[in-house]
């Protein structure tokens, strides 16, 4: 959307499909993500303010007033207002120092590479879980076989002790 803001002809050059939002990202998800970003910004600002206050206090200086925190939080309020405006108008303004189509294209490529890397990592984790589950199934299977073998050998020994079956069992050789 920022590319279209910088160069409106980009929609024709790249095609409308390039600028379409993926199906799994609906408006509700976008709004939730925007709220998350604003809240994350607020938390960062608040933590930084508290850290600065602790530093000032440790150095023997005066703590900053709550007014300073409110002024710093205006950045998060501006971000929320920007998102609200974008949601209403459906247009996104390009941001950054001298935004160009090339810079925005590079940013998209970097994000796509990060997504691919994360997908591969996720698949590796899932694969490792399956290997671990498979190994545990093998171990439990071997344990089950051992217990059945012990039960069977116990049963054979019991039969051998029984005088009525002794002759029959002497004919059959059983390993321990």
pLDDT of residue 110: 92
Q: Quick one: average pLDDT of 137-152? A: 68
pLDDT band at 9 (very low <50, low <70, confident <90, very high): confident
Q: Which two structure tokens, joined as six digits, stand for 106?
A: 């590079």
Tell me what pLDDT residue 40 has. Answer: 95
CB 21 within 8 A of CB 70: no
Residue 149: per-residue pLDDT: 65
Helix (H) / strand (E) containing 58: helix 27-58
pLDDT at 124 over 60: yes
Give me the chain's average pLDDT, please.
79
> What is the mean predicted confidence (pLDDT) over 136-156?
66
CB 1 within 8 A of CB 19: yes
Owner of token pair 């012990």:
150
Share of the chain above pLDDT 70, in %: 74
pLDDT digits (tens, 9 = 90+) for 38-64: 999 999 999 999 999 999 888 888 888
- The domains of the chain are located at 2-99, 132-171
The Cα 3–Cα 93 span in angstroms is 9
pLDDT at residue 156 in the model: 57
* 15: DSSP letter: -
State the pLDDT confidence band at 106, using cuts at 50, 70 and 90: confident
Q: d(Cα 14, Cα 10) in Å, to the nearest integer?
A: 6
| DSSP-H helix ranges across 90-165 | 101-161
Q: How far is it, in rounded angstroms, from Cα 17 to Cα 11?
A: 9
| Res 123: pLDDT | 85
- Residue 25, pLDDT score: 80
- Among 148, 173, 146, 145, which residue's Cα sits nearest to residue 160? 173
Angle at the Cα of 24 from the Cα atoms of 22 and 27, rounded to 5 degrees: 85
Residue 100's contacts (CB-CB under 8 Å, 6 or more residues apart) are 6
**Residue-level pLDDT at 45:** 94
d(C-alpha 21, C-alpha 1), whole Å: 10
3-state secondary structure of 70: helix
Q: For 60-90, what is each residue's pLDDT tens digit? A: 888 888 899 999 999 999 999 998 988 888 8
């Amino acid at each position: 959307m920022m590319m279209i803001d910088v160069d409106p002809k980009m929609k024709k050059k790249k095609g409308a499909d390039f600028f379409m939002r993926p199906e799994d990202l609906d408006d509700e998800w976008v709004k939730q993500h925007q709220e998350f970003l604003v809240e994350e910004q607020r938390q960062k600002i608040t933590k930084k303010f508290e850290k600065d206050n602790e530093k000032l206090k440790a150095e023997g200086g005066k703590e900053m007033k709550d007014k300073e925190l409110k002024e710093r939080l205006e950045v998060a309020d501006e971000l929320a207002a920007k998102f609200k405006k974008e949601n209403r108008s459906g247009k996104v303004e390009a941001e950054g120092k001298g935004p160009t189509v090339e810079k925005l294209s590079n940013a998209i490529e970097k994000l796509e590479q990060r997504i691919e890397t994360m997908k591969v990592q996720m698949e590796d984790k899932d694969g490792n879980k399956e290997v671990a589950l498979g190994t545990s199934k093998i171990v439990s299977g071997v344990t089950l076989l051992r217990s059945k073998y012990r039960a069977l050998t116990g049963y054979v020994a019991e039969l051998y002790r029984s005088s009525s079956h002794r002759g029959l069992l002497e004919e059959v050789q059983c390993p321990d």
